Amino acid sequence: MSAERKKLLSVAALSLMALFLWWAQGHLDGYKIQILNLVAINIILALSLNLIYGFTGLFSLGHAGFMAVGAYVSSLLILPAAQKETIFLLEPLVWPLSVLQAPFFVAVLAGGVAAALFGLLISLPVLRLGGDYLGIATLGFAEIVRVVANNLPGITNGALGLKGIPHYANIWWNYGWCLFTLYFIVRIVNSNFGNVLKAIRDDETAARAMGIDVLRCKVISFALGAFFAGVGGALLASLLTTIDPKMFLFLLTFNVLMIVVAGGLGSISGTVIAGVVITVLLEWLRFVENPIDFGPIHIPGIPGMRMVIFSLALLFIILFRREGIMGMREITWDGLACACRRGGKDRG
């Protein structure tokens, strides 16, 4: 297939997507739009983790920490000064933060940059560790972020969290950022740098022997992943309009990890598909917790059942289909065309 034609198809797909979102905004109820928004944010988060873990092989469990940094930085920039005064009930917000203001786009960008800087900061010591040790150390950092956020009421408002964050993160912002993340990560993965990352993942020793500056590449990948995690956190904060340290527990990282594993480590299309499926599934699974659906009262039947099924699903995937939905494959226009032709032939 010619590059020209692929570009055309991409543009067509994009406009179709935009058309769908435009229709959704007008016709779907707020509940479904909320899910659509969560889908976009979860895809951003999962893509960023896939860059770190799936493509570079760095097992990081620190996503909740990056998200927290991004969420706090961006929220503090978009909160109106008056709102800041009212919500910091116990201790006033420290000076420069109390007056700083930025437009939404800049704030999200700043959240991402702050998370990336944080990622850079911790990557220098932590990335010397490998495998599961790295996972535990990054998990440790995420926990430290949470503990610190609880204990700095002058900056984060402590456990009270930030309330009344302006709800700028509408469907266009979320999908815009999602698309940007997708484009950026696809470009990286398909670039020479992406090949270097994959080489490090597959055999670090060999990569080093080839003269690759392994640590530097790892740090860059880690910081980029942290940047998008921060962006995701910033968007989530504006979508939910309220954040506090309790939100950024390990469970949040687990959800993102689940998407990446289910989609296939090192598969971008897999991550996107799993992001949609798992986010929707998590909503849809609510039904298992309220089985009594007739009569005037709906009593939730078995509380906790949803997470039981969710964790079983993860176990099932890791035990029986470790490569996830897509393995390491990708959906491409060529692949699709091929499948169409084959399908056509079968029919014919």
Partner 1 sequence: MKKIAVLVSLLVILGAVGAACAEEPVRIGVYLPLTGQNAFGGQLECDGILMAYDEKPEVLGRKIEVIVVDNKSDKVEAANAVVRLIEKEKVHAILGTYGSSLAMAGGEVAEKAGIPVLGTSCTNPLVTQGKKYYFRACYIDPLQGSAAAKFAMDVLGAKQAAVLKDVAQDYCVGLAAYFKRAFEAAGGEVVADLNYQSGDQDFTAQLTTIISKKPGVLFIPSYFAEGAIIIKQARELGGTFHIMGADAMDNPDMITIGGKDIEGFVYSTFPYAPDMPDMSPMAKTFTENWKVKFPDKDPNANSAIGYDSYMLLVDAIERAGSTDPEAITEALAKTMNWEGVTGSTTINETHDAVKPVGFKMVKDGKQVYVGAVIPEM
Partner 2 sequence: MSLEMFIQHFLNALTLGSLYGLIAIGYTMVYGILRLINFAHGDIFMLGAYFVFWGGALFKLPWGLAVVAAIAFTSFCGVLVDRAAYRPLREAPRISALISSIGVSFFIENLCIVTFSAIPRAVHVPQWLGQVHLIGKVRLLPLAVVVPIVSMVLTSGLLWIVYRTKPGLAMRAISKDIETTRLMGVPVNRIIAITFGLGSALAAASGIMWALRYPQIHPFMGVIPGFKAFIAAVLGGIGSIQGAVLGGMLLGFIEIMIIAFLPALSGYRDAFAFVLLIAILLVRPSGLMGEKLEEKV
User: Given the rule CB under 8 A, which residues bind partner 2?
Assistant: 59, 125-126, 128-133, 135-137, 140-141, 143-144, 147-148, 150-151, 205, 251, 254, 257, 261, 302-305, 307-308, 310-312, 314-315, 318-319, 322
Q: Is residue 90 close enough to count as binding partner 1 by CB under 8 A? A: yes
With CB under 5 to 8 Å by kind, the binding choice for 296 among partner 1, partner 2, none is: partner 1
Minimum CB distance to partner 1 smaller for 9 or for 313: 313
What per-residue string of b and e applies to 219-245 under the rule 16 or more CB within 10 Å gives b? bbbbbbbbbbbbbbbbbbbbbbeebbb
Q: Is residue 289 close enough to count as binding partner 1 by CB under 8 A? A: yes
Q: How far apart are CA 259 and CA 38, in angstroms?
A: 13
Minimum CB distance to partner 2, residue 42 (Å):
18
Contacts of 91 (CB under 8 A, 6+ apart): 153, 154, 157, 158
- CB 132 within 8 Å of CB 59: yes
Minimum CB distance to partner 2 smaller for 99 or for 319: 319
Q: How far apart are CA 248 and CA 68, in angstroms?
A: 6
With CB under 5 to 8 Å by kind, the binding choice for 297 among partner 2, partner 1, none is: partner 1
Minimum CB distance to partner 2, residue 314 (Å):
4
Site for partner 1 in 171-230 (CB under 8 A): none
Upper half-sphere CA count for residue 204 (Cβ side, 13 Å): 15
With CB under 5 to 8 Å by kind, the binding choice for 167 among partner 2, partner 1, none is: partner 1
What per-residue string of b and e applies to 88-97 under the rule 16 or more CB within 10 Å gives b? beeeebeeeb
Minimum CB distance to partner 1 smaller for 295 or for 348: 295
Q: How far lies 42's CA from each of 37, 128, 229, in Å?
A: 9, 29, 10
With CB under 5 to 8 Å by kind, the binding choice for 281 among partner 1, partner 2, none is: none
**Residue span binding partner 1 (CB under 8 A) among the ranges 2-10, 109-117, 145-153, 261-269:** 145-153
Minimum CB distance to partner 2, residue 69 (Å):
15
With CB under 5 to 8 Å by kind, the binding choice for 96 among partner 1, partner 2, none is: none
Q: Coil, strand or helix: which one is 162?
A: strand
Site for partner 1 in 300-339 (CB under 8 A): 300, 303-304
Q: Which of 1, 19, 106, 159 binds partner 1 (CB under 8 A)?
A: 159
Minimum CB distance to partner 1 smaller for 223 or for 243: 243
Q: How far apart are CA 47 and CA 185, in angstroms?
A: 8
Contacts 24+ apart (CB under 8 A), 6-10: 6/333, 6/334, 9/333, 10/333
Minimum CB distance to partner 1, residue 171 (Å):
14
**R_g (Cα) of the chain, nearest Å:** 21
Q: Which of 57, 232, 245, 324 binds partner 1 (CB under 8 A)?
A: 245
Q: How far apart are CA 50 and CA 56, in angstroms?
A: 8
Residues that bind partner 1 (CB under 8 A): 29-32, 34, 86-87, 89-90, 147, 150-151, 153, 158-161, 163-164, 167, 240-247, 283, 289-290, 296-300, 303-304
